[in-house]
Every structure is written in C-alpha cells, then in structure tokens.
Amino acid sequence: MLRVGLTGGIATGKSTVGKMFAELGCRLVDADAVVHGFFNPGHPVNREVVEAFGPQVRSADGSIDRAVLGETVFNNPDARRRLNAIVHPAVIQYQKDWMDELEKRDPNAIGIADAALTIESGSYKNYDKIIVVACSPEAQKRRLKERSALTDEQIEARIASQMPMEDKVRYADFVIENSGSLEDTRRQVESVFGALQPNSRNAP
C-alpha cells in the first residue's frame, strides 16, 4: 500500500484536492474531521483541552467551541504549543491506525492523510510520498476572506503564523498549484494520481 501525506497552507484548497483524489479511487482520511470527533463530549482529547484551557472553551452541548479555542490560542504561542501537544499525537496515532487497517483490507490501496500540519508536526516521515497544495498569496487571501468573517489584518496574521509556502514545498514529492480553475487543478491531480500508480512507481 502507498501512504501519502496531503498538506498545504490555510485556504490553498487542500480539501478540494483531497476530494478529487478520493473521486479517482484513493482512500482519504481528513485530520480536520478527526479533530472534530476528538472535540465531541466524552472524548479524552475534549477533557484534556478543557483541563488545559478552562471551561470557557466548552460549548453548551459539551463539545469544544472551536471559535473560542481558536481565539484563545491564536495570539498566544505557548497556548498554541500546548494545544498542539494534546491534539497532534492523537491525530497522528489515529492516522497511523487508519492506514494500518486500510492496508489489511486493501494492500494495493493509495491511502491519503489530509492534514494542514503534516510537515510541522513531523508526521511527514510516516508517508511514502508528500503532496503539497499551493496557491498564490492573492488567491489564498481572497478565499480566506470569502469563507470567514476575518478582517484583512486577521487574515494576514493567520497566514503569517504558518510555515511559509516555499518551505513546505521543499518537502514535497508533488506540488499541485491551485491558483487557477478547478479544471486546471483536476488535471494536475489526475497527473499525480497517475504517478502514484504501482507501474509508475516501479518504473526505472
């Protein structure tokens, strides 16, 4: 089985690219969806987050309020490191278990783990190939503005807080440039999908 890490910066279109790979037959696990599950009432990660950051980060239904938590940790590097120390190991273990189980069921599968911090967390070492989704700063800012209520200053701060795109690209086996049309992105995804096939991987 081929284990692939899919990553990129905020609002670069990583989730869209992940769905395209899934449509082609790859198996996909989305770290953001995994974290959503971890933040549900009763999960150990939920309890650890509340213990670390206080009851104000818990919603009325007992789940973690991601917006409140985000505001709590975003401008506080120590708090962000504390949160990552809780969440990252749990996500990495979940992805490993998911990949191991997939390999048992389908040894020929292409398993893709979609996670924003694959490189920063060091989990890129767990994968055979790394795909980085990139786009222009202008497209990144426009998409973030369209999908959120963040101010221009907040958008700049969110982007500046992440690993620079040129640094992420250095870890990539494949880069998908997602500044243009969906059709252009899909063509790139299909090309990478072809390169991930066994006959392409084993070619001299």
Whole-number Cα distances in Å, 74 to 31, 47, 106, 164, 183: 19, 20, 40, 17, 34
pLDDT for residue 70: 87
Assigned CATH class of 2-201: alpha beta
Q: Stretch 119-140: mean pLDDT, rounded?
A: 95
Structural contact between residues 155 and 28, judged by C-beta atoms closer than 8 angstroms: no
pTM given for the model:
0.91
Q: Stretch 106-114: mean pLDDT, rounded?
A: 97
Provide the residue ranges of all domains of the chain, joining segments of one domain with +.
2-201
What's the chain's length in residues? 204
Q: Stretch 125-146: mean pLDDT, rounded?
A: 94
Give the mean pLDDT of the chain: 93
Per cent of the chain over pLDDT 70 is 98
